[in-house]
Amino acid sequence: MPQVQAYVYDITGGMAKMISMSLVGKQIDVVPHTGIVVFGKEYFFGSGPCIGVPGQSVPAQVAQVLDLGETSKTPDELEAYINSVLALEHTSENYSLMTHNCNHYAMDVAKFLLNGKGIPEWIVNIAQDALSTPQGAGLRTMIEQADTMMRSQSGGAPGGMNPYGNVGTGAGAGLNPFGHVGSAAPAAAPALAPVAKPAGVADTFSEGLEDAFDEMKSASVEEKRACLSTLLKVTQNLEKNPDDPKFRRIKADNPAFSKKVIDCAGGTEALLAAGWAPDTHEGEDVWAMCEANADQQKFFRENFERELAKLPPPPAPTPAPAPFAAPAPAPDFGGMGGMGGMGGGGMGGMNPQMMQQMMNNPGMSAQAQQMMQNPQMMQQ
């Protein structure tokens, strides 16, 4: 009997694994998009039910392949069920990131094929578990921004997290008999457009940036200043040198950058909103900026400047302490050895400790000076 598998993609491209702990306080290795692979095809949800080439249906890497079991159903039975039932229950209009997404569609396909057995619950529950908390708002922003970028690159229709609506349409329409579902009329896939050019993309990024700035309100003024100043400097360098690859990468283990940006509330969200994404370069983890996003940095520079201008002036530097003044040296009484008449035995034999005590006593020192100036006192 035909084998049924679930292909699980990470729509964040590894981003969730890197920063989920800092954002939501729990480790999330993938934020999944799932397709069901059977009969040599992949059944998945785009702007409606779609069919594609296994492992190539969406612009992301397969993170996991799960063996679900074997089916007694035929391709015709499955596709008739999709066309008559699932196509009506799963549309772009009723899509919800939290409760009715591509993973719920994959669950329904698997249950039909396997007589009630679906995909693992963690896949369909991950959005609800991780993103419904206040801490999850940052990760939700990240996912929505990943969605925007993937839709721009794949030509998917806007509206909800449905970045794969173009798959199998146009010349390959035979691979996607359900491509019309959720749209007013069949349409060919739109031409790809650079992410930086359409005004709508800037609007979406603007919303993510405003969410990041709201998150920054929980940081101290100086933490916020350090974060925004660092982001502004990075953005200015990129704006001036958009074609220089060295300004489009930041080492993920850079301690100064991590302390000022990643560790600041809202810092990671602002970085993501500005178009940066986790990547690897020559075996190192980096934050990378694609060439298309590098061209729209003026928008982000102006926003970082605006937020910095809202902050109060930095505190005045603490003045340096005055240098320590050494005490004036004690008077030199080395010439008093000849005062033989004083005290009967003379001062020549006075031990050094007693001499030091006398010199440190202002009264005795003044009396000694008077005696030196008045020989008659020395004779008494």
Instruction: List the catalytic residues.
Output: 33, 102
- Rounded Cα distance, 36 and 38, in Å: 7
The conformation of residue 343, written as its DSSP 8-state character, comes to T
**Per-residue tokens: 301:** 């520079």
Cβ–Cβ under 8 Å, residues 46 and 35: no
Q: Is 3 left (phi over 0), alpha (psi -120 to 50) or beta?
A: beta
Does the pLDDT value for residue 109 go beyond 80? Answer: yes
Strand blocks (E) in the chain: 3-10, 32-38, 41-45, 49-52, 62-70, 249-251, 276-281, 284-289
The pLDDT of residue 144 is 60
Local confidence band at 116 (pLDDT 50, 70, 90 cut-offs): very high
Which residues partner with 289 through β-bridges? 276
| pLDDT tens profile 327-348 | 555 555 444 444 444 444 444 4
Question: CA–CA separation, 128 vs 121, rounded Å?
Answer: 11
CB-based burial label for 359 (10 Å; 0-12, 13-18, 19+): middle
pLDDT band at 154 (very low <50, low <70, confident <90, very high): very low
Pick 364 or 305 by higher pLDDT: 305
Q: What is the token pair recorded at 27?
A: 């480790």
Residues 168-209 have pLDDT tens digits of: 333 333 334 444 333 333 333 333 233 333 344 445 456 778
Give me the DSSP letters along 141-173. HHHHHHHHHHHHHHTPPSSSS-TTTTTT-GGGG
CB 288 within 8 A of CB 249: yes
Long-range contact set of residues 239-244: C-beta below 8 Å, sequence gap at least 24 = 239/297, 239/298, 239/301, 242/291, 242/294, 242/295, 242/297, 243/291, 243/294
Could you read off the pLDDT of 201-241 as tens digits, one per residue? 445 456 778 888 988 999 999 999 999 999 999 999 998 98
